[in-house]
Amino acid sequence: MKRPSFQFYPSDWTGNSNLRRCTHAEKGVWLEILCLMHDQEQYGVLRWTLKEMAQAVGCTVNLLKGLVTKGVLKGDDKHLSEAYIYTPRSGRRDGEPITLVDTQAGPIWYSSRMVKDEYVRTIRGESSRFGEGNDAASKKAPKDAPKPSPKPPLGDGSSSSSSSSYSVPNGTGGSPPEQPVDKSPDQMTKDELWAVGKSLLKEAGMPATQCGSFVGKLVKDHTADIVVQAVRSAVLERPADPASFLKATCQRLAGTRNPGVKHGNFEQQDYREGVAADGTF
């Protein structure tokens, strides 16, 4: 059964460098194309010509060519000469590169973000840490399987070979953090939420010595109650960039409680100040 929806993350959309170069018309067309790609048997891939795609969404071919030129829509009408290779990352270590879309005859157009997130979604929950497990499925592109929705391919600014620092907007490909067995986030204690929140940050590539300090800085700036709510939301949604998600959620919740209060200069502050290396404060 096909998934009826995908999630929309405004921060990913507004923060994507490729999309920021697009016109409003091109962004609107891209949303239409994403809906078409979401509905395909091979998730994130359209085997149509640009002309057919333009007819389907009611736009000009030139608008689609604008998305291609700016690196948002990837592929070719005749022959795909450059494969899409994804390099998963766990902690601070790169895994084995995986070819998700190989060179082939066209027409073929795809969202690299959507294709990659589908791969991550498929292997999530399996033994996917590098050096662990012998399942061949973890080393090749996945096939469709009815599992929870992937994070959406909103900006599709990923390159053909992904390798990034702990702020990873497209996911890490690692297994999800552990959380207490048979407990939903609403049932977790504050200490359990702290542990899972720091585990999320660690899985995204943040050094382990900084995870507790990061959470402590959030508590110092926004109060423990707000951070608990933010961590609970992160545990539920599993954002690919938990650091940005937690900061944005804390700022939103703080603004809701205290309208007009701005929380700026977060990046310029040393969030380790006054916090022990083990994350206590």
> What is the tens place of the pLDDT at every residue in 216-265?
888 888 888 888 888 888 877 778 788 888 888 888 888 765 555 444 44
Paired with 46 in beta bridges are: 109
Residue 242: what pLDDT? Answer: 83
- Please give the distance of CA 174 from its chain centroid, rounded to a whole number: 12
| Residue 209 or 54, more confident | 54
CB 89 within 8 A of CB 120: no
Q: Does pLDDT of 274 surpass 80?
A: no
CA distances from 163 to 91, 93, 97, 159, 204 (A): 11, 9, 10, 9, 12
Amino acid making up residue 241: D
CB 57 within 8 A of CB 33: yes
- Please give the distance of CA 71 from its chain centroid, rounded to a whole number: 18
Question: What is the domain partition of the chain in residue ranges?
Answer: 10-139, 176-281
Query: Tokens 């608008």 correspond to what residue?
Result: 63
Q: Does pLDDT of 59 surpass 80?
A: yes
Q: Where is average pLDDT lowest: 64-73, 84-93, 179-188, 215-224?
A: 179-188
Residues 6+ away with beta carbon under 8 Å from 111 = 33, 34, 37, 44, 73, 74, 153, 156
Q: Can you say whether residue 73 is alpha, beta or left, with left for phi > 0 and alpha for psi between -120 and 50 degrees?
A: beta
CB 71 within 8 A of CB 81: no
Residue 171: what pLDDT? Answer: 36
What mean pLDDT comes out for the span 80-88?
93
Task: Using DSSP, state whether 254 is helix, strand or coil.
Answer: helix
Residue 2, CB-side half-sphere exposure with 13 Å CA sphere: 12
What gap in Å lies between CA 5 and CA 10, rounded to an integer? Answer: 16
What gap in Å lies between CA 21 and CA 102, rounded to an integer? Answer: 27
Rounded to a whole number of angstroms, the CA Rg of the chain reads 20
Q: Mean pLDDT, the chain, as a whole number?
A: 74
Name the pTM for this structure: 0.47
Task: Using DSSP, state whether 90 is helix, strand or coil.
Answer: strand
